[in-house]
């Protein structure tokens, strides 16, 4: 298999990740924060180490403000539904994933005012498009760091400064950037950072997290057992217990701890350099193939390792199936859970084929993928399904 679907979930995982998950299941690892026997203390210190590593990666001043969640969607849900009440105003961009768009639309039905900051044809949202939408009651601005359709990188630092100056909360969806692009929650004025453990952080599925800045108040969307203040009927006010109710995904976090340790040693900048090389190779190669339409930023504009394209005469799902049939290429066709973004790009009716290399993809694999697309493109049209 040539795995080019890292934007959905990363594969392969670094050495040591699978072993850490298996060890967590094989060897005694208790329920962290619930009791004082050795196995529970071991689990608690592993979870604490992972929190500290994540804080280091995102330059978060206090690791206790990083709460584990099941995925990015779960983290976005805690943040969006925790921040907004009827009468508040929220802003998002026209490139958002359904994990942002659907909860915001649901809240709009319940009296939250919602504005959408326009994006250009490359998916880029000019910071002024956000500034001009701010209102006195704007409570939350939600913005993805990078697009899962076009790889477009948003001006997070500039937008963060605008939002901070206005006194609203800034929530960043780092689904396509955590582990692949540098993130500094302090210099980027990020109040809330939602991230997956299973994409660029290279950990297992079922992991993710939400960073909550100091002083940020969220309404609770779930309460429950935390192992702390058990006689108190109210949820503890301190973090991470405030948002972490119920038993954590300890085997998943064990794997995530191993993958984040790997990332810190390799360095996000080294991953970024590797992925940029592959992305440019892919973009240049596809641009040379007759009948290919590329979407998103120009080849010389920085983007995340996400490339969307279509081939004349081919429906995107049929093309993705053909790529897999001919060379075991794993891609993702369709709308990518991002109807809003595809409407913005004008591809809602047709979708695109998305190729997303990762830290372990080789230039040879990209060459093979390009050769297969080229071979398909050069075959007589009447052989192609439409
Ligand atoms: C931009 C963006 N936001 C949110 C999500 C949801 O992530 P998860 O599957 O971890 O919930 C994705 C997943 O692809 C995404 O690309």
- Ligand 1 centre and the CA of 383: distance in Å? 36
* Nearest ligand 1 atom, CA 99: 4
17-266 has which fold? 3.40.640
Which letter does DSSP use for residue 288 in this model? T
| Cβ neighbours of 194 (radius 10 Å) | 30
- What 3-state class would DSSP assign to 117? strand
Length of the chain: 386
| Cβ neighbours of 382 (radius 10 Å) | 7
Question: What's the pLDDT score for residue 380?
Answer: 82
* Nearest ligand 1 atom, CA 71: 10
CATH for 2-9+267-383 is: 3.90.1150.10
Question: What's the pLDDT score for residue 35?
Answer: 87
Q: Residue 353 and residue 315: Cα distance in Å, rounded?
A: 9
Please state the pTM of the whole predicted model.
Answer: 0.97
**Phi and psi for 19 in degrees, rounded to 5?**
-60, -40
Query: Domain limits of the chain?
Result: 2-9+267-383, 17-266
Q: Is 97 in the pocket of ligand 1 (CB under 6 A)?
A: yes
List the chain residues with pLDDT less than 70.
381-386
Strand partners, 153: 146
pLDDT digits (tens, 9 = 90+) for 103-129: 999 999 999 999 999 999 999 999 999
* Nearest ligand 1 atom, CA 8: 14
| Cβ neighbours of 216 (radius 10 Å) | 17
Q: Is 148 in the pocket of ligand 1 (CB under 6 A)?
A: yes
- Ligand 1 centre and the CA of 94: distance in Å? 15
Q: Is 196 in the pocket of ligand 1 (CB under 6 A)?
A: yes
> Taking the chain, what is the end-to-end CA distance rounded to the nearest angstrom?
26
């Amino acid at each position: 298999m040539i795995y080019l679907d890292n934007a959905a979930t990363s594969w392969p995982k670094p050495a040591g990740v699978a072993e850490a998950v298996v060890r967590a299941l094989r060897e005694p690892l208790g329920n962290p924060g619930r009791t004082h026997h050795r196995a529970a203390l071991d689990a608690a210190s592993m979870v604490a180490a992972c929190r500290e590593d994540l804080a280091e990666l995102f330059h978060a001043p206090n690791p206790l403000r990083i709460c584990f969640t099941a995925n990015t969607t779960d983290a976005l849900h805690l943040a969006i539904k925790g921040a907004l009440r009827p009468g508040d105003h929220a802003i998002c961009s026209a490139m958002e994933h359904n994990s942002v768009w659907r909860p915001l639309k649901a809240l709009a039905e319940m009296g939250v005012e919602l504005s959408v900051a326009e994006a250009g044809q490359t998916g880029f949202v000019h910071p002024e498009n956000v500034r001009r939408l701010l209102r006195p009651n704007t409570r939350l601005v939600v913005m993805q760091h990078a697009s899962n359709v076009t790889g477009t990188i948003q001006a997070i630092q500039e937008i963060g400064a605008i939002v901070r100056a206005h006194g609203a909360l800034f929530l960043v969806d780092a689904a396509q950037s955590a582990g692949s692009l540098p993130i500094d929650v302090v210099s980027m004025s990020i109040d809330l950072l939602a991230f997956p453990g299973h994409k660029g952080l290279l950990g297992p599925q079922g992991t993710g997290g939400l960073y909550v800045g100091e002083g940020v108040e969220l309404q609770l969307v779930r309460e429950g057992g935390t192992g702390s203040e058990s006689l108190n009927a109210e949820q503890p006010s301190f973090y991470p217990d405030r948002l972490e109710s119920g038993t954590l995904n300890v085997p998943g976090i064990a794997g995530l701890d191993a993958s984040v340790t790997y990332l810190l040693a390799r360095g996000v900048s080294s991953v970024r350099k590797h992925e940029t090389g592959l992305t440019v190779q892919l973009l240049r190669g596809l641009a040379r193939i007759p009948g290919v339409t590329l979407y998103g930023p120009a080849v010389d504009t920085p983007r995340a390792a996400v490339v969307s394209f279509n081939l004349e005469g081919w429906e995107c799902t049929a093309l993705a199936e053909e790529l897999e049939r001919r060379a075991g290429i794993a891609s993702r066709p369709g709308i990518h859970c991002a109807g809003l973004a595809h409407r913005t790009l004008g591809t809602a009716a047709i979708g695109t084929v998305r190729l997303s290399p990762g830290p372990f993809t080789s230039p040879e694999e990209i060459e093979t993928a390009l050769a297969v697309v080229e071979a398909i493109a050069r075959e007589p049209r009447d052989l192609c399904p439409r």
